[in-house]
Amino acid sequence: MALYRVCFAVGLAVLAASMLAGFGRVLATEHQLPGLSRDPFLVAQRDLAHGREQTAAREYRTGAAVNRADYSIQLAAADGLARAHDLQGALATLDHAETLRPGDVRTQNTRGRAYLANGRLKEAFTSFGEVLRRAPGDADAMAGVGEVMLAQGRFPEAEAAFRRALQARPGDAALHDALAVTLAGAGRHAEAAGEFEQAMALGPSPDRAANLARARREAAAKP
């Protein structure tokens, strides 16, 4: 019983110290209390946003390796690895995801986005095309095709793809945003402002607000 009491005291002390340390770290580094998110890639996303690609890639790789049974974790890790420019890591993760859910179009769409994020436009187009052959109405794949076209400066094709995607998934702020960028790229600033307005109404963000203001200025300057 005495040994149990010692174990209990040590365990309690370690736990109490851990909680204080956890609070202290978040307060010191983020100037707020730990949030309620349970996303294990929370820090990886932050690292990525701040350009710390190697640190982010390490987090994504570890997450994928520790939780190999979770399909959504595998997809999120692959997406993060691709954005951290570890294309090989992303593709290997997607190969494993394919074994978890054979034939799931989300794997192929993520593969397309991985190629796209790394400038491999031809492979990205092929990946999205494969999805569209299997699921012709898939909004993610249509949006992917739109992104490939946009990256090549092929504005009419990009516009057509984003409009088709919006037909399949109306009310998607990101799709309105992508269409607005396409229209702005084509010099159709008044129409772009309209799409940015819709994107803002559906999902406001500082970037969208800035883009909307710029599109309005451009539209006013070149009616």
Partner 1 sequence: MSTATSVAPPARAATFALDPGRPFVSRTFDYAVIGGGLSLLVVAALKLGAEAALTPLLLANLGVVILLSNSAHFAASTVRLYTKRDTFRDLPFLTMGLPLVTVLVLGLAVAWPQAAGLHLRNLYLTWSPYHYSAQAYGLAVMYGYRSGGGWSMADKRLLRLACVCPFFYAFLGNRDVGLEWFVPAAVLDVPVVHAVRVGLVVVLGVASFVLPAGLFLRHQTGGRPRLPLISLMVVMSNGVWLVTLPYMDAFVWATIFHGLQYLAIVSIFHVRERMALPGNTRPWWRHAGGFYLACLGLGYLLFQVWPHAFVLAGFGFVESAMLVTAAINVHHFIVDAYIWRLRRDPNYAVVRPAAALG
> Is residue 39 packed enough to be buried (19+ CB in 10 Å), middle (13-18) or exposed (0-12)?
exposed
Using CB under 8 A as the binding rule, whether residue 167 contacts partner 1 is answered as: no
Maximum pairwise Cα distance, the chain = 85
Using CB under 8 A as the binding rule, whether residue 201 contacts partner 1 is answered as: no
Using CB under 8 A as the binding rule, whether residue 136 contacts partner 1 is answered as: no
Q: How many residues bind partner 1 (CB under 8 A)?
A: 42
> Helical H runs in the chain?
2-30, 42-49, 53-66, 71-83, 87-100, 105-117, 121-134, 139-151, 155-168, 173-185, 189-202, 206-221
Nearer to partner 1, 4 or 221 (CB): 4
Using CB under 8 A as the binding rule, whether residue 22 contacts partner 1 is answered as: yes
- How far the first Cα of the chain sits from its last, in Å, is 85
Q: Which of the residues 32 through 71 are near partner 1 (CB under 8 A)?
A: 34-38, 40-44, 58-60, 62-63, 65-69
Which residues lie near partner 1 (CB under 8 A)? 1, 4-5, 7-8, 10-12, 14-15, 17-19, 21-26, 34-38, 40-44, 58-60, 62-63, 65-69, 72, 99-100
